[in-house]
Amino acid sequence: MLVFGKTGQVAQELAIARPDAVFLGRDAADLSDPAACAAAIETHQPSAVINAAAYTAVDKAEEEEPLATIINGAAPGAMAKVCAAHGIPFVHISTDYVFDGSGEVPWKPYDATAPLGAYGRSKRAGEAAVMAAGGAYGILRTSWVFSAHGGNFVKTMLRLSETRDRLTIVADQVGGPTPAAGIAAACLRMAEGLTLDASKAGVYHYAGAPAVSWAAFARAIFAKAGRAVEVVDIPSSDFPTPAKRPGNSRMDGASLAAAFGLPQADWDAALDDVLNALAP
């Protein structure tokens, strides 16, 4: 198995689950060079490919949309073309940011996309390129990723709690915190399933349940970690960012459960695991 990505949260969880896989970091396959990514697949001739690498700087993408679109759009498209030509299953990770975040109903895989910013547009471009390549592809949209690795909301809250006893957290953005370990397991299950049945190709959603606001998630983190921090709910308008965040990031994972037997992730239990891993 060939994995694009080495240092990201999902890539590190994939390395734990599949240490026998080949992992390509930026030094071996820079996604700003789509042709090099395609060539890497030709060289390794893997049984399956998972793209766990991406341009993820949501706010910076507003200034670097052309670069983000190459990394998140053209590169996965080039990977998918090679995989389709050789009959190699290809799994690509995408995001809730392809939607406009309206309403309160969980997004289904084939709901109309309407990204609010450059990052979402770049990820939508990648989805379109992968779908256009055909073959045995699986696009896995997910949201609010957390783990004991890299940078994420859980680690940020723990760091802030070391010097603060009161935090204002956005409460009008609602979604499913998703453990990176669960995403890694889902990618592996999809790669295996597509190897056996290419007709399962398509777009799927995988996110944590139940849906919560960022503020509610922060309260859960502090409660489980034993940190005495008061969380004050604020609207997104009180915390402006260069890129607008979706208000509704709820994801409907029914089709993933039906096709691959994968239920939604239990973020509460996964949070226990992550906090235990981070404990001194």
Buried b (16+ CB within 10 A) or exposed e, 201-212: bbbbbbbbbebb
Q: Which of 143, 161, 155 is CA-nearest to residue 205?
A: 143
The 3-state secondary structure of 159-224, one letter per residue: HHCCCCCEEEEECCCEECCEEHHHHHHHHHHHHHHHHHCHHHCEEEECCEECCEEHHHHHHHHHHH
- The reply to whether omega before 109 is within 30° of 0 (cis) is no
The amino acid sitting at 245 is R
Task: Cite the active site residues.
Answer: 119
Residues sharing a CB contact under 8 Å with residue 49, sequence separation 6 or more, in sequence order: 1, 2, 3, 4, 41, 79, 83, 88, 89, 90, 91, 191
Q: Which of 76, 49, 72 is CA-nearest to residue 133?
A: 76
